[in-house]
Amino acid sequence: MRRNLSGLPPLREVIAAHGLQARKSLGQNFLLDQNITDKIVRLCGPLAGLSVVEIGPGPGGLTRSLLHSGALRVVAVETDSRAISALEGLQQAAGDDLALVQGDALEVSLPELCEAPRAVIANLPYNIATPLLLRWMKDLKGDPATYRFMALMFQKEVAERICAVPGTKSYGRLGIVSQWLCTVKVLMDLPPSVFTPPPKVRSSVVWFVPKVLEGPQPSFDAMERVTALAFQGRRKMVRSSLKDYAAHFERLGIDPQSRAEDLSVQDYIALAQA
Ligand code: SAM
58-69 pLDDT, tens digit per residue, is 999 999 999 999
Ligand 1 centroid to residue 206 C-alpha, Å = 17
Could you tell which of 53, 66, 80 is best to mutate to test the pocket of ligand 1, judged by most ligand atoms within 8 Å of the CB? 80
Instruction: Tell which residue, 89, 83, 75, 103, has the closest CA to residue 20.
Output: 83
What pLDDT, on the 0 to 100 scale, is given for residue 98? Answer: 97
Residues 263 and 233: their CA atoms lie apart, in Å, by 13
Q: Which atom of ligand 1 is nearest to the CA of 63?
A: 1
Is the preceding peptide bond at 216 cis, omega within 30 degrees of 0?
Answer: no
Residue 151's alpha-carbon distances to 36, 96, 122, 238, in angstroms, are 14, 23, 7, 34
Residues 105-161 have pLDDT tens digits of 999 999 999 999 999 999 999 999 999 999 999 999 989 999 999 999 999 999 999
Residue 183, number of CB atoms within 10 A of its CB: 12
Report the chain's mean pLDDT, rounded to a whole number: 96
Going by alpha carbons, the residue nearest to atom 21 of ligand 1 is 79
Cα torsion angle, 144, 41, 112, 208, sign: positive
Burial class (CB in 10 A: 0-12, 13-18, 19+), 131: exposed
Asked if 129 and 201 touch (Cβ cutoff 8 Å), the reply is no
Tens of pLDDT along the chain (274 residues)?
Answer: 456 788 899 999 999 999 999 999 999 999 999 999 999 999 999 999 999 999 999 999 999 999 999 899 999 999 999 999 999 999 999 999 999 999 999 999 999 999 999 999 999 999 999 999 999 999 999 899 999 999 999 999 999 999 999 999 999 999 999 999 999 999 999 999 999 999 999 999 999 999 999 888 999 999 999 999 999 988 899 999 999 999 999 999 999 999 999 999 999 999 999 9
Q: Is the CB of 175 under 6 A from ligand 1?
A: no
Q: Is the CB of 82 under 6 A from ligand 1?
A: no
Ligand 1 centroid to residue 133 C-alpha, Å = 14
Q: What is the pTM of this model?
A: 0.96
Q: Is the CB of 22 under 6 A from ligand 1?
A: no
Burial class (CB in 10 A: 0-12, 13-18, 19+), 273: middle
Q: Which atom of ligand 1 is nearest to the CA of 104?
A: 24
Q: Is the CB of 181 under 6 A from ligand 1?
A: no
Ligand 1 centroid to residue 81 C-alpha, Å = 11
What pLDDT, on the 0 to 100 scale, is given for residue 5? Answer: 85
Q: Is the CB of 80 under 6 A from ligand 1?
A: yes
Could you tell which of 79, 107, 133, 203 is best to mutate to test the pocket of ligand 1, judged by most ligand atoms within 8 Å of the CB? 79
Q: Is the CB of 196 under 6 A from ligand 1?
A: no
Could you tell which of 55, 66, 107, 120 is best to mutate to test the pocket of ligand 1, judged by most ligand atoms within 8 Å of the CB? 55
Residue 230, number of CB atoms within 10 A of its CB: 24
The DSSP line for 135-196 is: HHHHHHHH-TTS-SEEEEEEEHHHHHHHHPPTTSTT-SHHHHHHHHHEEEEEEEEE-GGGEE
Q: Which atom of ligand 1 is nearest to the CA of 106?
A: 23
Q: What single-letter DSSP state applies at residue 227? A: H
Residue 113, number of CB atoms within 10 A of its CB: 18
Residues 72 and 109: their CA atoms lie apart, in Å, by 19
Residue 109, number of CB atoms within 10 A of its CB: 11
Structural domains for the chain: 11-210 (3.40.50.150), 220-273 (1.10.8.100)
Q: Is the CB of 149 under 6 A from ligand 1?
A: no
Residue 119, number of CB atoms within 10 A of its CB: 22
Going by alpha carbons, the residue nearest to atom 23 of ligand 1 is 104
